[in-house]
Amino acid sequence: MNTHYFIGIKIPPTLATDIIEARDKTNLHETHKTLPFKEDLHITLFYIGAMASEQIEHIIQSLQNIDWSSFNLTTNGLAHFGSNRTPRVVYTDLEESDSLKRLQKEVVKTLSDCIKTEHTKDFNAHITIAKKWASKGLLSIKDFHLPKSTFEVSCYSVFKINPNSKPRYEEIASIRCKGG
């Protein structure tokens, strides 16, 4: 079985702790099957899926060639995918960022030279805090209070997914910005 990979931005530890502490004041642990560990919080730039390790090395080398500058991102409350009553994914939202959108497009463009990228969905930057609805009860997120927080993005990573490990995502390469 091939290992699965994705490209993403790791959330700084202090912010990750704040997000988990805010999540713990909700009932998401009762309503959802999967609650990511603090160390696993990230913003996905592209999900690669199953890939041989030789191919992933080529991808990492190609990603090193992207010319980009560091930028800031700001959290923006809570949002979800799916219905209001039974959301399949609950996430910390982010303010719009042209720099992030540009980076994500460059990552996809670079990947398309290496692998088949059937990338049809619009990019919606977010930090998943719960997924896979698993309850007959009602969601209660009124106690989720996370002040807006700004953080710098100066690198992104290639992660290997280890489904049976905790945390699940192993950083195998970090790609730093080239500009100031």
Q: Read off the pLDDT of residues 50-90 as tens digits, 9 standing for 90 and up.
A: 988 889 999 999 999 999 999 999 999 999 999 888 899 99
- Beta-strand runs (E) in 38-134: 42-51, 71-82, 87-94, 126-133
pTM, entire model: 0.93
CB 43 within 8 A of CB 129: no
| Token output for 129 | 């805090």
| Token output for 82 | 């799916």
Using pLDDT thresholds of 50, 70 and 90, give the confidence band for residue 150. very high
CB atoms within 10 A of CB 121: 6
CB 42 within 8 A of CB 11: yes
* H or E element in which residue 5 lies: strand 3-10
